[in-house]
Amino acid sequence: MTDVTTRTELSSDAWTQAYSRSVMDTFGPPQRVLVRGEGAYVWDADGKRYLDLLAGIAVNALGHAHPTLTAAVSAQLGTLGHVSNFFGTPTQITLAERLLQLAGAPDGSRVFFTNSGTEANEAAFKMVRRTGAPRVLALDGGFHGRTMGALALTAKAAYREPFEPLPGGVEHLPFGDTDALVEAFSPAAVAERGAVGGLVVEPVQGEAGVRELPAGYLALARRLTADAGALLVLDEVQTGVGRTGHWFAHQDPEVGGGVVPDVVTLAKGLGGGFPVGAVVAYGEHAATLLGRGQHGTTFGGNPVAAAAALATLAVIERDRLLAHVVEVGETLRRAIEAGGNPLVTGVRGRGLLLAVQLARPVAAEVAAAALEAGFVVNAVAPDAVRLAPPLILTTDQALDAARFFAGVTVPDPEH
């Protein structure tokens, strides 16, 4: 057996070469090989430090090596590491109760645990199927994962086409188009194409460049789905667990308009870096759509994953990180906008899920320049850079990031 501790002196180049020989090439070569983290910083194999403004794509809510999270995971693993779902555990049950409390879910609500966001959306897709209605609505620009059901809900052709045929019955509506939404539920559409079993939407589309649904859209969606007896499924895999300054993005009145969904899917930030996802079903009807034997998972609800999630939620509450996210997110947004760089035309998003809009499609070049300067960001669109840092990002760190954007330049071939 190879002992990784004997290879810690390898350079980033050596690790990258080893990666290319041993890991499937589905992501391209790693931009860096990271060996440790602390707070909002990570270090590569050559000892260079980076301010992590991506947090594993909105995952590391508490940053890296948070002592409370580390202690909770270690303690649970030293007590009871795993059992099958033939048995319950205190951490699993307590996490379910905690999520229902944070969601404000009514009596009869239940939680199903998964390992990831795509699995949570896969379960939600099954719940929609169980309504018996043949049509499932989703939005252009939406990203819901890469398993076959979740991929069917995902709109991007490049992700879908290599694996078609996908599960049928999914219709993608134009993003934010209320007329198209009304038409999809109209008597004519139902007569022609069948009843709608559910609508699956993200309150803020992360992978599409941090795009927020227009005001009133979710309220309209709630009314139409309720009238049709269809499920309103909110994919909060990226936006949940404090990312936007609320436990869940739809709880922001400006985003959700007070809607109560039927299903919410969670993952990413829930475990603070430990893989865990969840499906929150609101009320007895949604919570009983999947009966015994109709869905399952080996690791979902794993006691260590549940302990990680409970610790993450506890720290967010104890350290008042929801308010902190709003404050630091606004500081970061305003500082970038005030930087005066003509390459930066604006900042959108909520809390600490932001996109820096660029004047030209040079996001990849900006992300590369950021990495060289010691900042981890993500080119989420050709002309937009996504920022999803740990929720513990400090004001000084936010201002450091803003100074990078104020000074970054990319050659313009037309000048």
- The structural domains of the chain, with segments of one domain joined by +, span 31-60+320-407, 69-319
Question: What is the three-class DSSP state of 373?
Answer: helix
Taking all residues of the chain, what is their mean pLDDT, rounded to a whole number? Answer: 96
> How is residue 379 written in tokens?
């080119």
**Is the Cα dihedral 99, 103, 108, 113 positive or negative?**
negative
pLDDT confidence of 387, banded at 50, 70, 90?
very high
DSSP code for 243 = T
Q: What pTM was estimated for this model as a whole?
A: 0.96
- Please check whether residue 192 is in contact with residue 135, taking contact to mean a CB–CB distance below 8 angstroms: no
For 112-150, write each residue's pLDDT tens digit. Answer: 999 999 999 999 999 999 999 999 999 999 999 999 999
Closest among 128, 155, 121 to 139, alpha carbons compared: 155
pLDDT tens, residue by residue, 147-198 = 999 999 999 999 999 999 999 999 999 999 999 999 999 999 999 999 999 9
If phi > 0 it is left, if psi is from -120 to 50 it is alpha, else beta; for residue 268 that is: left
- Concatenate the DSSP letters of all residues of 316-368 into one string: HHHTTHHHHHHHHHHHHHHHHHTT--TTEEEEEEETTEEEEEESSS-HHHHHH
Split at pLDDT 50, 70, 90, the class of 9 is: confident
| pLDDT for position 411 | 84
Q: Residue 367 region, left (φ>0) first, then alpha (ψ -120 to 50), else beta? A: alpha
* CA gap 43, 22 in Å, rounded: 22
- Residue 316 phi, psi (nearest 5): -60, -40
pLDDT exceeds 80 at position 202: yes
> Residue 253: is its pLDDT beyond 90?
yes
How far separated are the first and last CA of the chain, in Å rounded?
Answer: 56
pLDDT band for 8, please (50, 70, 90 cuts). Answer: low
Is 69-319 assigned to CATH 3.40.640.10?
Answer: yes
Q: Write the class of the CATH domain 31-60+320-407.
A: alpha beta
